Structure 1
């Protein structure tokens, strides 16, 4: 795999995780997932936190598997891995405690 593609794996995983988690957030709110029980809390939180953890593990694996000592291209690939991991951790951590379904109900008219 070429180094530009490797450098984009981390940010690409973050983009997929971001779109997937927030898409499922909307689906979960529309289908009433916060009211349905799951192994650890409600179905909404369980699903979103599970996907976030899977994305974090994936981002960590991308970083771990990035090449060592290949000059500037290796450094760029490593930076892409770090960008993906940190972005996934920081931008998606609100799923740990925020539901937001109450907010979307008032905006969209869904009660």
Structure 2
């Protein structure tokens, strides 16, 4: 299953943060975001997947892994990485799929 996503790699995200657009695919071994440059997060590297509402405007995931932090949301469309219409239900579905792939013993 693939998802059109808006994402940001870094320790924090705010309404002023410019995101990047890509297509996320959860493979048996890793999450792969097809963008420029591509992002690959092995499932073994996952530490936590947190679903939250950013400023009460839409759902977003905070994915903590051994290489850093990824903020990501599933979108219907995006304008230049600054404005996006979030797919509320697909973001929740992605959170559940990703949590199932976390190694045992890590927080979710």
TM-score w.r.t. the length of structure 2 is 0.29
**Larger Rg: 1 or 2?**
1
Higher relative contact order (CA 8 A, sep 6+): 1
TM-score w.r.t. the length of structure 1 is 0.28
